[in-house]
Amino acid sequence: MDKDARPNWGSPMQFVLACVSYAVGLGNVWRFPYLCQMHGGGGFLIPYVIMLVLEGLPLFYMELAIGQKMRLGSIRAWSAISPYLGGVGLASVLTSLYLCLYYNIINAWSFWYLFNSFQPVLPWAECPLNANRTGPEEECARTTPTQYFFYRQTLNISTSIDETGGLHVGQVLCLLLAWILTYLFILRGVKSAGKVVYFTATFPYLVLFIYLIRGLTLHGAVNGIKYMFMPKMEHLADPKTWVNAATQIFFSLGLGFGSLIAFASYNDYNNNFERQAVVVAFINSGTSIFASIVTFAIYGFKATVNFESCLERTRLLLLNTFEMAEELISLDNISDWIEKLSAKYPEQFDSLAGVWENCSLEDELKTAVEGAGLAFIVYSEAIQNMPLPQLWSVLYFFMLLMLGLGSMLGNVTAIITPLRDFEVVARHISIEALSGLVCLFCLLVGLSFTTASGNYWFTMFNDYAASFSLLFVVLVEVIIVSYVYGIRRFEKDVEDMLGRRPSWFWKILLVAVSPLVLASLFIFYIVSYIQGGTPTYQAWDKHLGASVVTEYPIYGQVVIGLLLASTVSCVPLSALYTYCKTKRRPGTRELSVSQEWTLLGWRCEAELRE
- Residues placed in the known binding site for Na(+): 23-24, 28, 252, 284, 403, 407
Total residues contacting other proteins by CB under 8 A comes to 35
Return the residue of 1, 5, 131, 325 that touches other proteins, per CB under 8 A: 325
Instruction: Output the CA–CA distances (angstroms, integers) from residue 190 to 92, 184, 187, 268, in the order listed.
Output: 20, 12, 9, 13
Closer of 129 and 512 to other proteins (Cβ): 129
Assess 392 for contact with other proteins (CB under 8 A): no
Assess 118 for contact with other proteins (CB under 8 A): yes
Assess 356 for contact with other proteins (CB under 8 A): no
Assess 184 for contact with other proteins (CB under 8 A): yes
Buried b (16+ CB within 10 A) or exposed e, 149-167: bbbbbbbbbbbbbeeeeeb
Return the residue of 6, 142, 152, 188 that touches other proteins, per CB under 8 A: 188
H-type helices in 453-569, by residue range?
454-460, 468-479, 487-498, 504-508, 514-532, 554-568
Return the residue of 10, 11, 135, 596 that touches other proteins, per CB under 8 A: 135
Closer of 10 and 601 to other proteins (Cβ): 10
Closer of 172 and 606 to other proteins (Cβ): 172
Closer of 94 and 196 to other proteins (Cβ): 196
Strands (E), 336-401: none
Assess 181 for contact with other proteins (CB under 8 A): yes
Assess 348 for contact with other proteins (CB under 8 A): no
Return the residue of 176, 334, 386, 519 that touches other proteins, per CB under 8 A: 176
Q: From CA 129, how far away is CA 144, in angstroms rounded? A: 14
Binding part of the chain for other proteins, among 185-193, 194-202, 478-486, 519-527 by CB under 8 A, reads 185-193
Q: From CA 273, how far away is CA 265, in angstroms rounded? A: 11
Assess 458 for contact with other proteins (CB under 8 A): no
Buried b (16+ CB within 10 A) or exposed e, 64-84: bbbbbbbbbbbbbbbbbbbbb
Closer of 111 and 250 to other proteins (Cβ): 111
Close Cβ partners of 420 (under 8 Å, ≥ 6 residues apart)? 73, 426, 431, 434
Residues numbered 419-438 forming contacts with other proteins, rule: CB under 8 A: 432
Q: Residue 438: name the closest of 408, 400, 458 by CA.
A: 408
Return the residue of 13, 54, 167, 177 that touches other proteins, per CB under 8 A: 177
Residue 137 CB neighbour total at 10 angstroms: 15
Return the residue of 8, 192, 385, 538 that touches other proteins, per CB under 8 A: 192
Assess 174 for contact with other proteins (CB under 8 A): yes
Assess 115 for contact with other proteins (CB under 8 A): yes
Q: Residue 359: name the closest of 311, 320, 301, 319 by CA.
A: 311
Binding part of the chain for other proteins, among 40-48, 182-190, 243-251, 443-451 by CB under 8 A, reads 182-190
Return the residue of 2, 4, 5, 134 that touches other proteins, per CB under 8 A: 134
What single-letter DSSP state applies at residue 232?
Answer: -
Buried b (16+ CB within 10 A) or exposed e, 345-376: eeeebeeeeeeeeebebeebbeeebbbbbbbb
Q: How far is the CB of 176 from other proteins (least distance, A)?
A: 8
Return the residue of 11, 119, 335, 595 that touches other proteins, per CB under 8 A: 119
Binding part of the chain for other proteins, among 118-126, 140-148, 279-287, 540-548 by CB under 8 A, reads 118-126
Q: Please tell me whether residue 546 adopts helix, strand or coil conformation.
A: strand
The answer to whether the beta carbons of residues 344 and 110 sit under 8 Å apart is no
Q: From CA 146, how far away is CA 141, in angstroms rounded? A: 11
The answer to whether the beta carbons of residues 452 and 168 sit under 8 Å apart is yes
Q: From CA 280, how far away is CA 23, in angstroms rounded? A: 8
Assess 324 for contact with other proteins (CB under 8 A): yes
The answer to whether the beta carbons of residues 71 and 261 sit under 8 Å apart is no
Assess 568 for contact with other proteins (CB under 8 A): no
Assess 327 for contact with other proteins (CB under 8 A): yes
In the complex, which residues of this chain contact other proteins (CB under 8 A)? 111-112, 114-116, 118-119, 121, 126, 128-129, 133-135, 170, 173-174, 176-177, 180-181, 183-184, 187-188, 192, 316, 319-320, 323-327, 432
